[in-house]
A = this chain, B = another copy of it.
Amino acid sequence: MRLKSVVSSLLLHPLQPGDTIGILGGGQLGRMLALAAAQLGLKTHIYAPEEDSPAFDVATRITQASYEDEEALRVFAESVDVVTYEFENIPLKTAQFVERLNRLHPGAKALSATQDRLIEKQTIAALGLATAPFKAVDQRDDLVKAIEVLGTPSILKTRCFGYDGKGQVMIRAADEAKEAYASLQGAPAILEGFVPFTREISVVAVRAANGAFAAYDVCENIHAHHILSETRLPAAITPATHQKALNMAQSLADALDYVGVLAVEMFVTQDENGAEALIINEMAPRVHNSGHWTLEGAKTSQFEQHIRAICGWPLGSCKRLGTVMMRNLIGVDVDQWQALLQNPDNHLHLYGKSEARQGRKMGHVTQVMAL
């Protein structure tokens, strides 16, 4: 009931040009959201704990404080017209605290359903959508029993605070259970059955305060060392699978009373007849790395769509403008920037991070070839 009234507030009182968007988190996603907000005449207030947050460089106002600093959060929440977050690992308590003071989109409900892998999988399963088989693991005994049911190989994942492969360990044989459990250091977890898949795809979608839904064409993702390496469009899937993927994303967005951009990662598998099937891997309640191509490859970027949605504004068009290749620049990849600028087909994006640490997303490069 509470969420419904929040949504109505956005419909009755959409933001006006000149208003301020509060963003929890100061990484590259916050930075690109701030740039999109500026294009639409909006101001931004970035809240992040790290001094060298990339989003600080382009924000109208910044607050550098911890997510537990309730006084700083209060001042922040009361200074802006709507609050959003750029990653799903901000503490749920922080989101709930902010939501009591101002509009938060996506809401704390969406955050809790995506930052905890157990709730995430339960949410997906409750809608009748396919996920990898899973079991909750709260203690070592649970893990032993889960391995008996799901077999090996299987993947032990912390319920919370995992991304880019962090907090995951592959279990190849039952006798690895003890060591794997120890690596969790007591964190609640789930065991996931291993799903042999042929492709990884994602749907980047957006839902407006009035329930309107739009989605970009499905993209195909290639990971290296658990980090997104490349995104390509169109994905090599059948039209039926394509439509099914979009429908699954819409079911999730509707179920979560979602407002903003939602990313849903899926595995393409083969059923017993060799036909394509889809399994949802995970969701992200935010703009997503696999949607960066939309900056040049779609009529409206995912960043603008998210801003429009959380302002209570009409959505833009998700129309794709060409054949797309987006490649992440991870760590020292960024040293190629001069060579990348030489190719006039490249759109180079750098995130303003000073240190090119291993595995760190430093930028990306997109090519769009006209259809």
Contacts and interface: CB of A to CB of B under 8 A. Distances in A.
B341 A41 contact: no
A370 B39 contact: no
Interface in A1-56: 17-18, 31, 34-35, 38-44, 56
A39 B35 contact: yes
Given A40-B350, A344-B299, A352-B17, A370 B58 contact: no
A38 B43 contact: no
A321 B300 CA distance: 15
Interface residues of A, number: 43
Given A17-B334, A57-B60, A337-B17, A39 B314 contact: no
A351 B40 CA distance: 7
Contacts of A34: 58
Contacts of A344: 299-300, 316-317, 319
Given A60-B58, A308-B341, A41 B316 contact: no
A53 to B, nearest CB: 12
A360 interface: no
A371 B40 CA distance: 26
A341 B370 contact: no
A57 B319 CA distance: 30
Contacts of A345: 299, 317
Interface string A338-367: 100110110011111110000000010000
Contacts of A348: 39-40
A314 B348 CA distance: 12
A313 interface: yes
Contacts of A58: 34-35, 38, 58-60
A210 to B, nearest CB: 13
A42 B351 CA distance: 9
A332 to B, nearest CB: 13
A14 to B, nearest CB: 8
Interface string A110-146: 0000000000000000000000000000000000000
Contacts of A41: 337, 349-353, 363
Interface of A: 17-18, 31, 34-35, 38-44, 56-60, 299-300, 308, 313-314, 316-317, 319, 321, 334, 337-338, 341-342, 344-345, 348-354, 363, 370-371
